[in-house]
Structure 1
């Protein structure tokens, strides 16, 4: 089986919340694609409940694209402690953190249920499993802790 970087990460050594550059790959024409670990919860010490995580996912899909160019995808980890963020190019971790902070702030303080995208049977594969209340609480909690620029030390929070 192929090695997967996130399975080699020492999950006991990181200090969430943080943003970490996992790696940069280059396509056959030289295009750079960056993969980031956007970790919101300390691994093995907690997880975001599914409904809240699902709503955060839907909101980040739009809010992050409003704040940054080049986003290919932002998808939750199965462990429910954060997200993979895939981008074109090589954006700086600080720029990712700024966009994430701004997006979480909007979720925590501004977003109404009517603004949550794709929460019906036509546009979502599990539309009944959403919670804006949980998404707001978790977004506020993450912002309160601060998002580090370094996965192993609390830097720039």
Structure 2
């Protein structure tokens, strides 16, 4: 069985919130794809409720593309403590953090229900499970805690 990097990470040693570069993969033509661990909540100490995480997912998927070039996907972890971010190229962690901060700032301070994309039965596989209130509260809490540039030390918050 293949080894999955996120299952080898010592989840008791990290200090969330943070952004961590997991890996850079190269395609057959040399194109780089970077995989980031965007951790919002301390593992095994808390989790974002599903409805709030779902709304953050929809909003951040749209917002982050306005602040960071090359976003392929941002998908929540099953443990509900953060997201995998997949991007073309090799952006610096500081640039990823800046884009995440701006996206969370929009969610915390400006987002209205009309801003949340993909919330109908046609567009979403679980359209009834959203909470803008929870998304706002969690986004504010993450911003207040500061997003570290390092997974194991609080750097650049």
Q: Pick the TM interval, shorter chain.
A: over 0.9
Alignment of 1:3 with 2:3, yes or no, is: yes
Q: Tell me, which stretches of 5 or more residues in structure 2 are unaligned?
A: none
Is there any run of 5+ residues in structure 1 with no aligned partner, and where? none
Show the 5 A alignment for 1:1-157: 1-157=1-157
1:138 Cα deviation after fit: 0.1
Once the two structures are superposed, residues 1-58 of structure 1 have per-residue CA deviations (whole angstroms, 9 ceiling, x without a partner) of 1000000000000000000000000000000000000000000000000000000000
Q: Which string of whole-angstrom CA distances, capped at 9 and with x for unpartnered residues, describes residues 114-138 of structure 1?
A: 1100100000000000000000000
Q: CA deviation at 1:73?
A: 0.3
Deviation per CA, 1:90-109, whole angstroms, max 9, x where unpaired? Answer: 00000000000000000000
Q: Segments of 4+ in structure 1 off by > 2 A?
A: none
Aligned partners of 1:101, 1:69: CA distance in 2, in Å?
15
Let me know the Cα RMSD of the aligned residues: 0.3
The number of residues matched between the two structures is 157
Instruction: State TM-score, norm by structure 1.
Output: 1.00
Shift of 1:111: 0.5
Q: TM-score, normalised by structure 2?
A: 1.00
